[in-house]
Chain A
């Protein structure tokens, strides 16, 4: 009879999978979002010529809203997971590993829910699809 992996190991594998996807999202999508919102828009650099602002990424197009959600949610998961479970435990807080992991997940869950809520409020048309 084939033995099933313990539930904890399966959950751990799923979380690692999401962490890896978040790493890909942060690597491929986050630099361009930071450039557009944090550098190009305030300095009016390419591609901003005054006809659009950084808010148009959020409300201008459904793809933009999806881009912001995937980028911020994926980066938040990856960044918090890595910082709370790797960095903090390796600078002397290993004995608080479980507590730090729980706090990290709490920030991730609340952050993603709040992000989704804000994007829905700013794009009420999404719910009509």
Chain B
């Protein structure tokens, strides 16, 4: 008898709602679902550009002023910020920085990257709108 047959792999059948059984799984799935908002905002933005190219600039701007679009933007911003913070924390876990004898902690990577996010956001606003 081979090793595999003596100890057969026991596969637990996962139901579509498996991630609700544990807090960590739920947190993981919420993190993964943020990708939907990232993707949908990108697709809607491309759709807005199509209105501009095939129609006029005001058609693009009217889409941005649409109440449904504004509501979606609020939700998308919250989920995108959640994506950003979990991504920064994950970076700290996957690629910790070693300085001398100490190794950086994930929360330190989170703090440094959030500061970087604020600096980049301000620079983008200054370069693209204020200048």
Contact = CB atoms under 8 A, between A and B. Distances in A.
Interface of A: 23-24, 26-39, 41-43, 47-48, 52-58, 60-61, 63-64, 67-68, 72-73, 75-76, 78-83, 86-87, 90-92, 107, 111, 114-115, 118-119, 121-122
A30 B127 contact: no
B121 interface: yes
B121 to A, nearest CB: 4
Interface residues of B, number: 52
Contacts, number: 163
A86 B70 CA distance: 28
Given A26-B80, A31-B80, A38-B70, A55 B43 contact: no
A29 B120 contact: yes
B53 A57 contact: no
Contact of B52 (A39, A76, A122): A122
A43 B72 CA distance: 14
Given A23-B87, A38-B70, A118 B42 contact: no
A37 B73 contact: yes
B15 A90 contact: no
Given A47-B125, A54-B64, A78-B38, A92 B15 contact: yes
A47 B77 CA distance: 17
A72 B87 CA distance: 18
A92 B16 contact: yes
Contacts of A118: 46, 49-50, 52-53
Given A37-B73, A57-B129, A29 B124 contact: yes
B46 A115 contact: yes
